[in-house]
Amino acid sequence: MWKEKRSMNSNLIDKITAWEPRAVWTEGGDGMFTVPADGFHDLAGRLLSEGFDFLRSLTGMDWGEAGFGVVYHLEATATGENVVLRTLTEEREHPVLPSVCDLWKAAELNEREVFDYFGVRFLNHPDMRRLFLRDDWVGYPLRKDYDPAQNPLRMSNEVSKDSSPTYELQSDGSYIRKRNVLFEEDEYVINIGPQHPATHGVLRFRVSLEGEIIKKLDPHCGYIHRGIEKMCEELTYPQTLALTDRLDYLGATQNRHALCMCIEKGLGVEVSERVQYIRTIMDELQRIDSHLLFFACLCMDMGALTAFFYGFRDREKVLDILEQTTGGRLIQTYNTIGGVQADIHPDFVRKTKEFIAYMRPKLREYHEVFTGNVIAQERLKGTGVLTREDAISFGATGGTGRAAGWACDVRKRHPYAVYGKVDFEEVLFTEGDCFARYMVRMKEIEQSMNIIEQLIDNIPEGEYQLKMKPVIRIPEGSYYAAVEGSRGEFGVFLESRGDKSPYRMKFRSTGLPLVACLETIARGTKIADLIAIGGTLDYVVPDIDR
């Protein structure tokens, strides 16, 4: 599968070298182009106009002597072509790179993240504030020469600023710092979160209101930032696995699946058919679990507390199935490099079938109590519309993208595990409103059950764990692998220098693009709509903050 893609790429390699002769193609893992910083923005614009409209992932890097840089994973949504680019600057004191947030809106928060981690300033980026860390943080933590002793635990409050810095290039090559005003003095700004019943975790919005109507919204992330990417750089590959379960806790198996796939791809290991089946079934069970929780929480956000309990009651049954096999309910630690932790429990097949038989009528009940309800329909239909173009530009994958009519399912775009063999429908809507986002997920529960039904009786015999070397070293190069998580594309970017721990590990968060597009969707809606929009976007905060 991977080889096939590279041959497709060779055509593209010629094109790109024609557009930008200074671009150098390097092999090693997935391979990537190195583009000089001054020509990068032009090339990026060219690629965008050629159809590369989806910025899958944007990763900041510290290549030591070679300087700081950014790796871009691009995909053309029409053709499915992929290309990986990087650009870098040798300057270590005040690194500056061109911003691409005018081309892909997804870059906006991601470039802030790179600034936060590496101190790379992006020219013409409207909002160069830190994204996760406090404003008074000293140094840039993902730099290889960072000293953690500079930042003791601070007990003072962080004052939120009402303006943001931006950097513009002057004609003489220097750049100047300007200020962008976020909130005026006399605006009615309220804080929603970090402690608030409807933010599903510790996410904070500063919302400027006019009566009930939202004029502006400014998300603040980082309240549950743990620096998982930094931690991974000091852990061995098997040890990093434990951290993925703590990202999107409603997609624990899927996240871990992505990391295992990425490591297995680096090692060139092919796991057994049985493992593929088990992983697929587990991913789908996890998806049902997540979507049931989505339903429950959305109902609660909308004030229908009873439906909340129905969702949780049925989710409990999925958790029981997962717990019996994996030994964990939320944190499952199930996938391992080259297999899974334990074979499926003898009761697993029977219980899963029982659950599906139980769940179908319950879904009808959900539709009766909530979906069909005139109040719910009135509140969800037509509110919080995200257009297909915006969804792609923000990289808002998963149910959010599919509700806007973008066929962004990784299971269909880049089939992995046994998704290529099963027959399922990619649920698509075109409205892009809250109701479409809600319905996508409700329909996906049905599709997930279909997938499980096709697989559950045909799990082939075989090893559940390949014999791996005691110390795992991945050949030098960079690798990217993605799965369809419960709320979008969850990707792992891994750069290895042949050591037993990764040189850089980046998790493409499923939730960060959703937070990024929130401002666009929520502007002009009412405060009650913000809650419905937040509920239907279905972000999970530890996945955003990492």
Partner 1 sequence: MHALLTSLMPLRLAVFIECVIVGVCLLLMYAVIAVVMIFMERKVCAAFQCRLGPVRVGFWGLLQVPADVLKMLTKEIITIRRSDRFLYNLAPYIVILASVLAFACLPVNKGLEVLDFNVGVFFLMAASSIGVVGILLAGWSSNNKYSLIGAMRSGAQMISYELSIGLSILTIIVLTDTMQFSEIVARQADGWFLFKGHVPALVAFVIYLIAGNAEVNRGPFDLPEAESELTAGYHTEYSGMHFGLFYVAEFVNLFIVAGVAATIFLGGWMPLHIAGWEGFNTVMDYIPGFVWFFGKAFFVVGLLMWIKWTFPRLRIDQILTLEWKYLVPIGLANLLLMVIVVVFKLHF
Partner 2 sequence: MSNYIKGLFHGVGTLMTGMKVTLKEFFTPKVTEQYPDNRATLKMYDRFCGELTMPHDAEGRNKCIACGLCQSNCPNGTIRLTTETVTDPETGRTKKRLVRYEYDLGSCMFCHLCVNVCPTGAIRFAPTFEHAVYTREKLVKQLNKQ
Query: Beta 32-36 vs 82-89: how paired, if at all?
Result: parallel
Give the HSE-up count for residue 368: Cα atoms under 13 Å, Cβ half-sphere: 7
Tell me the C-alpha distance between 316 and 467, whole Å.
34
Report if residue 147 touches partner 2, rule: CB under 8 A.
no
Non-local CB neighbours of 449 within 8 Å, separated by 6+ positions: 284, 288, 356, 359, 360
To partner 1, the closest distance from the beta carbon of 396 in angstroms equals 23
Nearer to partner 2, 138 or 375 (CB): 375
To partner 1, the closest distance from the beta carbon of 376 in angstroms equals 5
SS3 annotation, 282-303: HHHHHHHHHHHHHHHHHHHHCC
Of 214, 302, 483, 541, which lies in the binding site for partner 1, with binding defined by CB under 8 A? 302
Start-to-end Cα distance in the chain: 30
Number of shown-chain residues binding partner 1 (CB under 8 A): 33
Q: Across-strand partners of 35?
A: 87
To partner 1, the closest distance from the beta carbon of 485 in angstroms equals 25
Q: Of 33-41, 51-59, 166-174, 307-315, which segment contacts partner 1 by CB under 8 A?
A: 307-315
Longest dimension (CA), the chain: 72
Binding mask 210-229 for partner 1 (x = CB under 8 A): -xx-----------------
Residue 449 tokens, joined: 């059950």
Report if residue 301 touches partner 1, rule: CB under 8 A.
yes
Report if residue 342 touches partner 2, rule: CB under 8 A.
yes
Amino acid (one-letter) located at 44:
A
To partner 1, the closest distance from the beta carbon of 416 in angstroms equals 37
Report if residue 379 touches partner 1, rule: CB under 8 A.
yes
Best CA proximity match to 542, nearest among 251, 206, 158? 251
3-class SS shares of the chain: helix, strand, coil, % to 5: 40, 20, 40
Calculate the CA dihedral of residues 40, 480, 430, 212 and round it to 10 degrees. Answer: -80
To partner 2, the closest distance from the beta carbon of 298 in angstroms equals 15
- List the single partner that 235 binds among partner 2, partner 1, none, CB under 5 to 8 Å by kind: partner 2
To partner 1, the closest distance from the beta carbon of 435 in angstroms equals 13
Q: Across-strand partners of 178?
A: 166
Nearer to partner 1, 212 or 347 (CB): 212
Of 64, 80, 303, 382, which lies in the binding site for partner 1, with binding defined by CB under 8 A? 303
Within 97-247, residue ranges assigned H as helices are 107-118, 228-232, 237-244
Nearer to partner 1, 275 or 380 (CB): 380
Element (H, E) at 397: none
To partner 1, the closest distance from the beta carbon of 502 in angstroms equals 40
Number of shown-chain residues binding partner 2 (CB under 8 A): 33
- List the single partner that 345 binds among partner 1, partner 2, none, CB under 5 to 8 Å by kind: partner 2
Best CA proximity match to 56, nearest among 34, 38, 77? 77
Task: Please check whether residue 365 is in contact with residue 513, taking contact to mean a CB–CB distance below 8 angstroms.
Answer: no
Of 270, 365, 389, 425, which lies in the binding site for partner 2, with binding defined by CB under 8 A? 365
Best CA proximity match to 378, nearest among 524, 526, 487? 526
Residue 435: CB atoms within 10 Å: 23
Binding mask 297-336 for partner 2 (x = CB under 8 A): ---------x---x--x--x---x--xxxxxx--x-x--x
Nearer to partner 2, 79 or 306 (CB): 306
Nearer to partner 2, 92 or 345 (CB): 345
Task: Please check whether residue 510 is in contact with residue 286, taking contact to mean a CB–CB distance below 8 angstroms.
Answer: no
Nearer to partner 1, 302 or 337 (CB): 302
Of 529, 538, 543, 545, which lies in the binding site for partner 1, with binding defined by CB under 8 A? 529
- List the single partner that 302 binds among partner 2, partner 1, none, CB under 5 to 8 Å by kind: partner 1
Which residue, chain included where needed, has tokens 């409205």?
431
DSSP 263-284: HHHHHT----HHHHHHHHHHHH
**Applying CB under 8 A, which residues contact partner 1?**
188, 190, 196-198, 209, 211-212, 299-310, 313, 369-370, 373, 375-376, 378-379, 526-529, 531
**Applying CB under 8 A, which residues contact partner 2?**
235-236, 238-239, 241-242, 306, 310, 313, 316, 320, 323-328, 331, 333, 336, 341-342, 345, 365, 368-370, 372-375, 377, 470
